[in-house]
Structure 1
């Protein structure tokens, strides 16, 4: 990343985590935790632990971006080989398609509420599509949402701070407004805080661990690709404080407000409604004479969805898709990759897989089965095996003259460690998909999939490299080298920076820099 494009300061990353933590996904996390049989108080405890782990993982995975100014696509090359790096990138892109479809569908429903506050006839449309699964008004809202999304995607990532500020303020206002309404309407935190827990299979400990794993699974893809954003850092440690403190704080606050508002709303409207836009739709009918409040609250939800889609889905996936070989590859750059992701997200029919909530939640949380071992391999390779020493120019060179070429462009050590990380949790994942009520030792292992997958792959990769050291260890520059930092951060005259700059320029113009060009 060239020096002139490093525009993110400490406050920028704080806003970044306001977007990532203050979102509808975090708001609805409480529903998942309570579904495991936890009490509201126990759910908040699980939130605290899970969000702290998310912050620590963000620091670890973002370190190479902060110090070497490379993104996830380049980081995958030194761990997996120039050709092998396509595997983790394709897996992450595949999972992102479903997440983007989900976020866009929620954004469309939030847009429906916003428009319905101004046009009451639109809010009361009853026509349906897709065999009655999809409401016509929600589909229209989703198309309008995508128009705003495509417009914002034209802004380069280094210039997104101001839109992020607007999104954070609007959704923050929505949260404050909902919390004030809920508490003032019931004069309490609602009935959920007075109900006894009913943990799955009678074990509070396993229910807590499953809840913590679900939180890590939700933010696992974002932590794995942290270097996509930390490479924009102006100076060292710019992202660190936000990752350690702002990330847990925002996730905990947003999810706790979601639990309180849902608890109070049950007492007011008579049913549990976890999605804030659905609650706003019901409040439009409950308070027919006051649509302005739901308009601004719905607008905040729309902005939150736009922000989270850009931060965790579109930009990162656009970088990934621009890197994957395509024909003709010169027509696919980061922005067009993000547009392609939006099309695939719509084509995934999110209203269909959301109609079967139990299977959907299991499969989506099960993506952690695959992502956690990727995280373990990357952290073990960068932090322990290579001790943060990289030869950056060889990440942009295809052929046997690159120390990261390994065997025909594939690194067998990473593949073996990844398989060893996936194997213990895969049987329980399959059993849970086939029978949501299955419960045995394999299922319990799946319930802590993120911890098991990350730890197994980390240790396996380290031991394999101890027995059979990969080539190139100790060759290159460490982030401790002051001259490397000066060259990359101030005048971009170092060889590593020149290679990185050339790779970024080619990526921006749609030219894939990869081992396949050798």
Structure 2
């Protein structure tokens, strides 16, 4: 039948564009090469769409619960999310500049800081965190779908459970998850450069849900509710305020670290900047503020405990009004916004970035799409419903991954902005031998690993003490340091890495080759014919001219 192992391997390789002049190698494929002009489709409004779905989400809505639990008043919590949103936007600007300028994502840019082989470490770290969070986001998406179906079929909310109690999974939750996954999986097929319209649709749905809940709660409660008028209870408001800021940065830390995954699609260098500086703080602060007000007001209307998760709040509203037809219609449209929000946030912060990270691990056979499907399998295989129901400490540890993300962010920023001063030799980022200036020693830059460990370890005792709530007062200092994880970890790694590079300079500083000069896009192993290069250059020039 003509079957052979070489032919099978060839079939399993990542697909290439028609008339592609690049090759799938150990270091490159379509999703890892510098984005050519014809795929640079994101303008100013495209990035506004990106940040609206990143900042307007259920996580932002629920941020108030964290801040109020730490002893801040609602007004102070709102001030925190405003300041935290502004700082997140500034951090996104400096993290995303490498993508907007050189059109490469975090997976490739980490090579010039960690080394060609050393870059696997931060990439695997991000894959692990993204897969875990996706599983939980998918479960919440399934629960939002369950509420949506329950608005159509009231009895679905009380469907008989066929699973055992030890599974911590209801039958209706499982059905909702399956349906949500059926919607999400085809969404992965949409290429990142074509996601602008889905972003807009998801934002409009979620925005409608937020405004609808806000109008309902404030009108019936005749104001923001009793919770909104409670004073701060934190013994030290200053420490609580700083913790709130670093919590905001930590929540969007992975997104800012991987900003170049999206800014590389920019059609001009400053296209992402306006949305990062304006849309980011507006959407994060606006959504969190609405979440605080609605939770406060709805608590007075419905009675009982405060419900910070809008998905569960919608289910309680339907129960409170005994599934009347008008309320069911409102819950249906509101839950539709929650379903779409979980879809968009899973694509933005999980599937695309994680898919590209996985592509960096095995570029010849994994691209963004295949990597996203692998992430999906891992995320569901961990059974997030078990983790959410029985492993509160695990969630604390997972939330504490800012301990690792912050030093990685500081290393990247120091290397790109101070050490290399925006100059990269693009072809060497795809060369896996000692001829590359990013090979360092055996493919590893020891400076990055030394910095990472030095900036990380002071934060670990606080993480351990936070997980183990029985620790005594002698851990207070470590816990306070941990509560400032992102600010402290980023600052320490930034200055340590810069100092190490001043003491032990790396070779190749100041060397630069632009995307036009580089052979990356045309044939990683130098196999492109001169005619191919000339033809591709003409196409690129025409694309640039048409975009101006």
For normalisation by structure 2, the TM-score amounts to 0.86
Q: Deviations over 1:268-290 (max 9, x none)?
A: 11121111110111111122212
Residue 357 (structure 1) shift? 7.2
Matches within 5 A, 1:67-82: 67-82=101-116
What is aligned with 1:304?
341
Please say if 1:320 is aligned against 2:357.
yes
Matches within 5 A, 1:30-49: 30-49=64-83
Query: CA contact under 8 A between 1:51 and 1:248: conserved in structure 2?
Result: yes
Residue 207 (structure 1) shift? 1.5
What is aligned with 1:403?
437
Residue 365 (structure 1) shift? 2.4
> Matches of 2:201 and 2:470 in 1, distance apart?
41
Query: CA contact under 8 A between 1:393 and 1:500: conserved in structure 2?
Result: no
Change (3 A) 1:14 1:429: same
What is aligned with 2:497?
461
> Matches of 2:391 and 2:295 in 1, distance apart?
18
Please say if 1:210 is aligned against 2:247.
no
Change (3 A) 1:502 1:221: farther
Change (3 A) 1:136 1:13: same
Query: Equivalent residue of 1:404, what SS?
Result: coil
Q: Deviations over 1:15-44 (max 9, x none)?
A: 000000010011111111111111111111
User: Is there any run of 5+ residues in structure 1 with no aligned partner, and where?
Assistant: 478-483, 489-493, 504-518
What is aligned with 1:370?
404
> Matches of 1:51 and 1:311 in 2, distance apart?
18
Moved over 4 A (4+): 436-439, 500-503
> Matches of 1:241 and 1:41 in 2, distance apart?
27
Residue 332 (structure 1) shift? 2.2
Change (3 A) 1:130 1:472: farther
Change (3 A) 1:32 1:470: same
For normalisation by structure 1, the TM-score amounts to 0.91
> Matches of 1:501 and 1:312 in 2, distance apart?
30
> Matches of 1:30 and 1:362 in 2, distance apart?
17
Matches within 5 A, 1:57-206: 57-127=91-161, 128-129=163-164, 131=166, 133-199=168-234, 202-206=235-239
Residue 435 (structure 1) shift? 2.0
Number of residue equivalences: 483
Please say if 1:495 is aligned against 2:517.
yes
Query: Equivalent residue of 1:425, what SS?
Result: helix
Query: CA contact under 8 A between 1:97 and 1:348: conserved in structure 2?
Result: no
Change (3 A) 1:261 1:27: same
> Matches of 1:391 and 1:347 in 2, distance apart?
40
> Matches of 1:500 and 1:359 in 2, distance apart?
46
> Matches of 1:441 and 1:212 in 2, distance apart?
18
Please say if 1:445 is aligned against 2:481.
yes
> Matches of 1:295 and 1:115 in 2, distance apart?
8
> Matches of 1:252 and 1:476 in 2, distance apart?
40
Please say if 1:246 is aligned against 2:268.
no
> Matches of 2:208 and 2:233 in 1, distance apart?
34
Query: CA contact under 8 A between 1:70 and 1:500: conserved in structure 2?
Result: no
